């Protein structure tokens, strides 16, 4: 590892450690105190109004840590919260029902336990990963001349009593050794922070199994609905497009048969129309087949299909593919149409002038990252195309993640577990 990479790694680990330490101390302590007070005030009635808001903030805090765990250390922490009924009443009754449902959710109490551990052990672990790079700076400063301040009263740097240039150099050597440990194990220490959070936030096996069954039931319904909608689209496109042209062509051929001897010139004109109709019908059928399963996807695989898709875009698009094999046809199809829909949204709404696509397969996971330099603001929510895409990917245990702050850039990540052959 060269000097620049070492500095970049040290800076990245230190920055992440500081973020974790600050959020663990400031965020977790504040939310834990507010949660305890709000839940206690439920006995007085006041808590029914404050508890839903406080616990919602706790869940947002925990979800933020889940996102950092996945992004920084590839630690996946499930989101186990029970969904709120859509027909909750408003007013005082609604607050009481919402508070009751949230307090009955086991995930709420796991969150509170995690807050307590996060503001103590979690913060300590994060600070250790920072100290491995901050503490060595003291050794360098002592070796640079600060040791002179401690000539009469030695300063203990670790186990080195610093009171001379020699001991200052020993302190610098010890600091270098500590920094080397940080470079080697700093990322692992931060991963340990996230694994600690996972052990507290993730549901137990029974709860995870129940959540898994509910998720499979929901995605099965979504898959059935999507299949029915796709069949209706195909029927509509056939009826309104190719079928109408074929019917018109048949009528032209009937007219040609009647006019071929009486009016050859008119018959010739109708033959030209019939030829044009047949060509247009063939084009529409090809487009329809491409929409069901593009030939290039079947023949050359997902990587080349996405590259072909990118060539048709009106925006400069860079595609990087690292796939050493092919996934099963349903997975390739799901990934292809997910990329297609995300690109369509980017073209329509982002006003971007550059798009990039990275596609890799590692650790039994197909990962596709799609970014653009547009205006941002994309989000997964009720009624959006990304929300429907997330449900369809759920059929394959897939994950859709969106990072799109206002002003951009936007990064959409699709992950589908699969093996390549």
pLDDT digits (tens, 9 = 90+) for 310-335: 888 888 888 888 888 888 888 888 88
Total number of domains constituting the chain: 3
Same domain, 42 and 138: yes
Same domain, 157 and 196: yes
Q: Hey, which residues does 411 pair with through a beta bridge?
A: 371, 403
Same domain, 283 and 317: no
Backbone phi and psi for residue 216, each to the nearest 5 degrees, phi listed first: -65, -40
Over residues 170-191, the mean pLDDT reads 85
Determine, yes or no, domain membership for 218. Answer: no
Same domain, 376 and 358: yes
- Model confidence band, residue 290 (pLDDT cutoffs 50, 70, 90): low
Same domain, 43 and 130: yes
Determine, yes or no, domain membership for 208. Answer: no
Determine, yes or no, domain membership for 45. Answer: yes
User: How far is the C-alpha of 247 from the C-alpha of 275, rounded, in Å?
Assistant: 13
Same domain, 255 and 275: yes
Determine, yes or no, domain membership for 106. Answer: yes
Confidence (pLDDT) at 136: 83
Determine, yes or no, domain membership for 58. Answer: yes
Q: Give a three-class secondary structure readout of 96-153.
A: HHHHHHHHHCHHHHHHHHHHHHHHHHHHHHHHHHHHHHHHHHHHHHHHCCHHHHHCCC
Same domain, 324 and 404: yes
| Host H or E run for residue 267 | helix 264-292
Q: Among 184, 201, 218, identify where a domain stops.
A: 201
Determine, yes or no, domain membership for 207. Answer: no
> Average pLDDT, whole number, for the chain?
80
Same domain, 234 and 322: no
Over residues 200-218, the mean pLDDT reads 65
pTM of the model: 0.54
Q: CATH code at 368?
A: 3.30.565.10
Q: Among 236, 262, 292, identify where a domain stops.
A: 292
Same domain, 410 and 342: yes
Determine, yes or no, domain membership for 220. Answer: no
Same domain, 240 and 307: no
Strand order in the sheet with 316-322: 316-322, 354-362, 365-372, 410-417, 399-403
- Tokens linked to 274: 């019939």
Same domain, 253 and 318: no
Confidence (pLDDT) at 3: 66
Same domain, 308 and 384: yes
| CB neighbours of residue 1 within 10 Å | 9
Is residue 6 over pLDDT 80? no
Determine, yes or no, domain membership for 222. Answer: no
Range of the domain at 239: 227-292
**89/319: higher pLDDT:** 319
Chain-centroid distance of CA 251 in Å reads 54
Question: CB within 8 A of 331, min separation 6: which ones?
Answer: 366, 396, 416, 418
């Amino acid at each position: 590892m060269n000097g620049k990479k070492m500095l970049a790694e040290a800076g990245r680990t230190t920055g992440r450690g500081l973020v974790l330490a600050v959020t663990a101390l400031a965020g977790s302590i504040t939310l834990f105190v507010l949660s305890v007070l709000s839940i206690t005030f439920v006995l007085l009635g006041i808590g029914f109004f404050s508890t839903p808001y406080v616990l919602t903030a706790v869940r947002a805090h925990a979800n933020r840590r889940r996102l950092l765990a996945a992004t920084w250390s590839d630690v996946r922490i499930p989101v186990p919260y029970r969904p709120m009924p859509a027909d909750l009443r408003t007013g005082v009754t609604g607050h009481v029902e919402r508070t009751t449902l949230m307090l009955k959710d086991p995930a709420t109490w796991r969150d509170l336990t995690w807050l307590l551990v996060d503001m103590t052990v979690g913060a300590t672990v994060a600070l250790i990963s920072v100290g491995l790079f901050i503490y060595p700076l003291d050794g360098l400063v002592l070796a640079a001349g600060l040791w002179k301040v401690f000539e009469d009263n030695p300063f203990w740097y670790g186990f080195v009593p610093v009171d001379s240039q020699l001991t200052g150099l020993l302190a610098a050597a010890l600091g270098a050794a500590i920094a080397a440990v940080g470079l080697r194990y700093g990322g692992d220490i931060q991963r340990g922070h996230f694994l600690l959070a996972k052990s507290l936030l993730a549901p137990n096996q029974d709860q995870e199994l129940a959540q898994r069954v509910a998720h499979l039931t929901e995605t099965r319904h979504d898959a059935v609905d999507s299949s029915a909608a796709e069949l209706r689209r195909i029927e509509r496109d056939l009826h309104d497009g190719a079928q109408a042209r074929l019917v018109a062509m048949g009528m032209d051929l009937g007219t040609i048969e009647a006019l071929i001897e009486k009016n050859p010139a008119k018959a010739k004109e109708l033959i030209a129309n019939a030829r044009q109709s047949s060509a247009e019908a063939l084009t529409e059928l090809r487009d329809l087949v491409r929409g069901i399963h593009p030939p290039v996807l079947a023949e050359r695989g997902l990587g080349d299909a996405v590259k072909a898709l990118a060539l048709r875009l009106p925006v400069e698009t860079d595609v990087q593919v690292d796939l050493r094999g092919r996934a099963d046809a349903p997975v390739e199809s799901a990934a292809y149409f997910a990329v297609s829909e995300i690109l369509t949204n980017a073209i329509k709404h982002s006003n971007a002038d550059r798009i990039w696509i990275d596609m890799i397969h590692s650790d039994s996971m197909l990962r596709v990252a799609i970014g653009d330099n547009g205006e941002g603001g994309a989000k997964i929510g009720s009624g959006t195309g990304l929300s429907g895409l997330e449900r369809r990917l759920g059929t394959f245990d897939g994950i859709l993640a969106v990072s799109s702050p206002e002003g951009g850039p936007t990064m959409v990540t699709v992950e589908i577990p699969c093996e390549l052959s």
